[in-house]
Chain A
Amino acid sequence: MEEFEPNIIGFLCNWCSYAGADLAGTSRIQYPPNVKIIKVMCSGRVNPMYVVNALQQGADGVLIGGCHPGDCHYSRGNYLARRRIAVMKRLLEYIGIEPERVRMTWVSAAEGRKFAEVVEEITKDIKKIGPMKKIRRENIW
């Protein structure tokens, strides 16, 4: 049987985490190809309903990346994101979605290594728990 390769959607802020992911690339740090990145200008742009939507539409996990507290390019977007995601993550856990599926991280533009490590970790974690089936959308109308 082919090994399960999780499909993870990553929302990364333009200024820190996306740049951190770029740095991982320019440093040629190898990491699993499972996280597909959507660039947003700020982690504060991430509507927690995107997380639900991603899990519905075939993602086995979601990663949200922002600047470290105090470093947000827009001064406070990451703080707002932290609150919103905290509430949504706990709600999803409460209804029985594995906590491993929704992750948030602070990655600075200098932390290419950290970005790769985060991807390694969540990929490994989600591989363990298997595909997201619970609220996955069946493509029937």
Chain B
Amino acid sequence: MKIGVYVCECGSNIASTVDVDKIVEEAKDLPNVAVSRVYKYMCSDPGQELIKNDIDEYDLDKIVVAACSPRMHEATFRSVLEDKGLNPYVLEIVNIREHVSWVNSDKDKGTEKSMALLTGAVHRSALMKPLERKKVGVIHTALVIGGGIAGIQAALDIANMGYKTTLVEKTSSIGGKMSQLDKTFPTLDCSQCILSPKMVEVNRHPNIKLLSLSEVVAVDGYVGNFKVKIKRNPRYVIEDKCTLCGDCLPVCPVIAHDEYNQGFSPRKAIYISYPQAIPASFIINPDDCLGIDPLICTKCKEVCGPEAIDFDMQPEIIEEEFGAIIVATGFAPYPIENIGEYGYGTIHDVISGLDYERIVSASGPTEGKILRPSDGKIPETVVFIHCAGSRDPSKHLPYCSKICCMYSTKHALQYKHIVHNGTAINFYIDIRTAGKDYEEFYQRAAEEDKVIYIRGKVSEVLKDGNQILIKGVDTLSGETVELHADMVVLATGITPSEGTKEMASLMNLAVDINGFIREAHPKLKPIDTAIAGIFIAGTATGPKDIPDTVSQASGAASKACGILSQDELEIEATVAIVDDSLCRGCGMCAEACPYSAIEMQVINQYGHSTRIAYVNEAMCKGCGSCAAACLNGAINQLGYTDSQILALISALGGD
């Protein structure tokens, strides 16, 4: 074995506090060192040439460079090795700049420390082995989970880039929460009008397969090669045959609450959520229908001209493979029932923000007239309470739900536009208008449309005859406030949608303390998850408005396409490796692995079925947590093996 040692002066950066000539001389006496040199700038072209020439001349097979941090130039020197046909992983960098010369001015001590580090590196270098960057194939299809605006945007972007995409939606129609909104801030354009063209595009797109009423039930595999099981629940109406003629509606004897209209209007057991729903087909809700039993009632089936109704539909499991997955499972409003102090549930005219969206919507139960639920009268005073459930760490959600300031302002503005002489009052803690044109929107509401803003928290909401008595404090004047309103709208916050946690655990994704899916890095990898090939978009990761959601969805789509566009993916070289002869199959490594990259397999060892840990190299990220968990070193990390680290310890210890 021949090791070449190269010490960099880095101008005077290293040489001024480290006696480089001395360590170069001493390095010559270290085991296996064939050549040891110093140069002013090792990373420069002449410096690199120096190493390249030596590789040829001395037939070197390992290189040790003592210079700056490996974070600076490890890649540079690796390519030097590669240029000369050496494996890039037989390079060892000794950090004598950031860790020695720049932090210490005593030349003797600096030289001594550098020498110790260099000695360790040479000893470790002797134990280094060439590593292989393996490659795995890629399946060129994507899965998008969740058919809200995030999922729709992501699916469309991927499909438009030419890749087959499967969009899985739990409910009977895509569109998500955005489809229930009347208008969107700050432009006040109609939510449905900007959303439905996208929904139609999803339906028509040749690259998109839409699975409504479906749930992901199992996810296996790794980046480029996910194996997914999707459970498809029966619609009991054949999508392709249904013409939306509605002949079934008058004959259905069942009346149920219409979820789309927040229960403010009735629907039948056979219904379509809303006219623009995609897939454009009726559905029979099996919980409402008289039992999906032709013996009890077949009225809809009898009148259905196209024979679209099929009571015999069964749930089915679809198995498909995907190269990348986007999780866009969205949010659920904070359960308003939890906020008892604001009178919801006991006072009829206390409603949630989403209730208000339906009431104010032209397609809603009141056809856009603002009528209060209790008596159908036009409310003369409406109070909007911000942060209903948000920013309340003691009782409710600790975080800011981000969109409520804006949507309450929008609600107040809409009210003023419809009920011109009415009074709209907002109770707020802070007004947060960080977004393009958001502040202007708020100013317009307050100044042009005379929406009243009171800074303070509401303490009590009480029924007072036909009216509602609101008690609170105006924290700007310090005075208590008592006023009467005809209707109260609570700006409920954002929580992870039901099933987010289960979905995350299916894919081994982490969730944060509030139950939102955790991103790989909150700042620099907000779209990635800890699992390669799985990305997140929209409110599944935390409160977001529509523009942020859509941008994140497009980001996730482009990240996914970054994978789908490859034929092969290069995987981490410093992965875990198992010594079958030592492994006793206890699985402690598998438990320690953050990526589920270790699977316990039963193999035949000399006739005995034996449990052995198996590392899926495509999933392993090379952290080494498994190696430290193993009781007898049966699993190791390539590039950081126990032997190498113990050699380093020995050299640094000085024994």
Contacts and interface: CB of A to CB of B under 8 A. Distances in A.
Interface of A: 5, 7, 9, 18-19, 21-22, 24-26, 28-33, 36-42, 44-48, 50, 53-54, 56-59, 73-77, 80-81, 84, 116, 137, 139
A89 to B, nearest CB: 15
B95 interface: yes
Nearest to A132: B653
Given A44-B625, A58-B655, A80-B625, A74 B594 contact: yes
A26 B71 CA distance: 12
B650 A57 contact: yes
A41 B624 contact: yes
Given A57-B655, A58-B655, A77-B625, 10 more contacts: A22-B69, A25-B97, A28-B103, A31-B103, A33-B106, A41-B574, A45-B624, A54-B653, A74-B625, A81-B628
B117 A44 contact: no
Contacts of A44: 592, 623-625, 628
Contacts of B637: 41, 45
* Shortest beta-carbon contacts, A-B, top 9: A25-B98, A58-B653, A45-B624, A44-B625, A57-B653, A74-B623, A42-B623, A25-B102, A58-B655
Give the dominant DSSP class at B's interface. helix
B592 to A, nearest CB: 6
B653 A59 contact: yes
Interface string B414-437: 000000000000000000000000
A137 B628 CA distance: 23
Contact of B99 (A25, A56, A76, A80): A25
B616 to A, nearest CB: 16
B131 to A, nearest CB: 13
Contacts of B116: 36
Contact of B625 (A24, A31, A36, A45): A45
B649 A38 contact: yes
B102 to A, nearest CB: 4
Nearest to A7: B654
Given A22-B71, A44-B592, A76 B625 contact: yes
B517 to A, nearest CB: 12
Interface stretch (B203-211, B294-302, B499-507, B638-646): B638-646
A117 to B, nearest CB: 12
B622 interface: yes
Nearest to A19: B71
A22 B67 CA distance: 13
A42 B27 CA distance: 29
Contacts of B117: 36-37
A41 B105 contact: no
A133 B117 CA distance: 23
Interface in B115-173: 116-117, 120
B110 interface: yes
Given A9-B652, A84-B628, A41 B623 contact: yes
B113 A42 contact: no
Nearest to A137: B655
13 contacts: A7-B654, A22-B98, A32-B104, A38-B648, A39-B70, A40-B645, A41-B623, A42-B624, A50-B649, A54-B652, A74-B595, A75-B530, A76-B594
Contacts of A26: 98, 102
Given A25-B102, A30-B105, A33-B104, A38 B652 contact: yes
A47 B627 contact: yes
A138 B70 CA distance: 34
Nearest to B621: A74
A110 B652 CA distance: 27
Contacts of A42: 623-625
Contacts of A40: 624, 640, 645
Nearest to B652: A36
Contacts of B646: 50, 53
Contact of A25 (B103, B110, B595, B655): B103
A58 B651 CA distance: 9
A30 B103 contact: yes
Contacts of A38: 120, 645, 648-649, 652
A84 B626 CA distance: 12
A26 B110 CA distance: 16
B569 interface: no
A24 B101 CA distance: 11
A34 to B, nearest CB: 8
Nearest to A23: B98
Contacts of B71: 18-19, 22
Nearest to B100: A33
A10 to B, nearest CB: 9
